[in-house]
């Protein structure tokens, strides 16, 4: 059950407005061809996750991918025993059809979805993948459905951050934090979410220094990593733990920019690269070699070559790698000139077909080996006679 932070922190609640901002994203069926505002942009982007037990999650993959493809929806969805997670994009009607399918899955009727808009399709293809975890932390036994931190609505987040006893931790990866973060947040400088448990254990002594009991607040892009991060921290024995309900995306959508404590832009895992307040598409671009967000200063660096290298990865790449990146970039530009999508929009189907072909070939080879063994046995039997 979600316990409001007002009940957990009455000394701060008295300073907060007794209301919550509820944002409803309008779904337009006929977007204007020329976008005048963010809501007029033609593509609907839906970010979603739900922790719910799927007994046979493998069986959910094919029908889910089929409904996405039938409605022209692209993106990535992850399925695991613990639930579903992902971001998809398409027309308003297409997204509505896919969400109707997802809400019919076990435990997903009330799945929370964060909507934004994009001027172009932000994904190249549709991928539905099977995983051990829908967000990988690698800590066995964690169940965010049973014990997580206290949810703090975006409208009340600033009051928590402005309290001097609050320790604010950004649970995202280092390349995401570069694009923007909350004022005063600690950056663990992790390369992946798997590194967060070790980082926390190494710095736990600092957080509880001088015998104080820390009030820990955590945040991430859409909220899913904080579900596991707060569950982990509570399992480590700290109870005064809070996290931003709906993540950065809901905060940027609902909190006016003039009242915001967010600095910079928010990294997202699609072709938009970043979004700003109001979830407007951001200004940063992406290094196609290392996937780091790039500022104007990065683009002006002599170490930047489009699609090949940037100041963040130039020293880490070999000449052979840069040559491969250069060829990939050349092929991508040629495909764009022909009006095609480089890498293809159906790579999942290609991989699946090749996998089936390999299995069929393995089965054929097995039959041939068994036939050869039987022939040898028959020859040996005749010789013995």
pLDDT of residue 23: 32
User: Could you tell me the pTM of the whole model?
Assistant: 0.74
Catalytic, 68? Answer: no
pLDDT reported for residue 371: 79
By residue count, the chain amounts to 385
For residues 22 and 260, what is the distance between their CA atoms, to the nearest angstrom?
17
Catalytic residue among 16, 44, 68, 220: 220
So what's the pLDDT on residue 340?
A: 61
Residue-level pLDDT at 198: 97
CATH domain 38-130 topology: Alpha-Beta Plaits (3.30.70)
pLDDT at 5: 53
* Cα–Cα dist 166/215, whole Å: 5
Three-class HEC string of the chain:
CCCEHHHHCHHHHCCCCCCCCCCCCCCCCCCCCCCCCHHHCCEEEEEEEEECCCCCHHHHHHHHHHHHHHCCCEEEEEEECCEEEEEEEECHHHHHHHHHHHHCCCCCCCCEEEEEEECCCCCCCEEEEECCCCCCCCCCCCCCCCCCCEEECHHHHHHHHHCCCEEEEECCCHHHHCCEEECCCECCCCCCHHHHHHHHHHHHHHHCHHHCCCEEEEECCCCHHHHHHHHHHHHCCCCCEEEECCHHHHHHHHCCHHHCCEEECEECCCCCCEECHHHCECCCEECCCCCCEECHHHHHCCCCECCCECCCCHHHCCHHHHHHHHHHHHHHHHHHHCCCCCCCCCHHHHHHHHHHHHHHHHHHHHHHHHHHHHHHHHHHHHHHC
Q: How far apart are CA 93 and CA 281, in angstroms?
A: 21
Domain formed by 138-267, architecture: 3-Layer(aba) Sandwich (3.40)
| pLDDT, position 344 | 44
| Distance, C-alpha 198 to centroid of its chain | 21
Q: What is the pLDDT at residue 332?
A: 72
Reported as a single tens digit per residue, the pLDDT across 205-220 is: 888 775 566 789 999 9
Below-70 pLDDT ranges, the chain: 1-37, 210-213, 335-336, 339-362, 379, 383-385
């Amino acid at each position: 059950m979600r316990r409001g932070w007002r009940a957990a922190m009455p000394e701060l609640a008295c300073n907060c407005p007794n209301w919550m901002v509820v944002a409803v994203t309008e779904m337009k069926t006929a977007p204007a061809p020329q976008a005048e505002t963010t809501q007029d942009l033609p593509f609907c982007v839906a970010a979603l996750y739900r922790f719910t037990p799927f007994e046979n999650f493998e069986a959910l993959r094919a029908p889910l991918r089929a409904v996405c493809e039938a409605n022209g929806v692209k993106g990535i969805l992850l399925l695991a025993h613990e639930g579903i997670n992902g971001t998809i994009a398409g027309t308003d009607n297409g997204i509505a059809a896919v969400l109707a399918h997802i809400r019919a899955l076990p435990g997903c009727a009330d799945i929370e979805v964060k909507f934004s808009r994009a001027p172009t399709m932000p994904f190249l293809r549709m991928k539905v993948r099977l995983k051990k975890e829908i967000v990988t932390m690698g800590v066995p036994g964690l169940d965010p459905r049973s014990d997580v931190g206290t949810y703090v609505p975006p409208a009340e987040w600033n009051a928590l951050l402005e309290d001097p006893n609050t320790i604010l931790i950004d649970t995202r990866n280092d390349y995401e934090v570069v694009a923007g973060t909350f004022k005063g947040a600690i950056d663990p400088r992790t390369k992946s979410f798997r590194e967060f448990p070790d980082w926390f254990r190494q710095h736990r002594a600092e957080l509880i220094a001088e015998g104080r009991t820390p009030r820990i607040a955590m945040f991430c892009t859409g909220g899913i990593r904080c579900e596991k991060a707060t569950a982990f921290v509570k399992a480590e024995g700290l109870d005064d733990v809070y996290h931003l309900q709906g993540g950065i995306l809901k905060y940027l959508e609902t909190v006016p920019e003039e009242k915001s404590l967010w600095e910079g832009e928010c990294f997202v895992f699609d072709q938009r690269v970043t979004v700003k307040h109001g979830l407007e598409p951001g200004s940063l671009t992406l290094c196609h070699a290392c996937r780091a967000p790039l500022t104007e200063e990065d683009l002006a660096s002599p170490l930047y070559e489009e699609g090949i290298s940037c100041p963040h990865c130039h020293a880490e790449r070999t000449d052979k790698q840069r040559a491969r990146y250069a060829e990939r970039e050349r092929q991508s530009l040629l495909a764009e000139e022909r009006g095609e999508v480089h890498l293809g929009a159906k790579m999942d189907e290609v991989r699946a077909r090749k996998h089936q072909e390999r299995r069929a070939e393995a089965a054929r080879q097995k039959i041939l080996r068994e036939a050869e063994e039987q022939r040898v046995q028959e020859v040996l039997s005749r010789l013995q006679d």
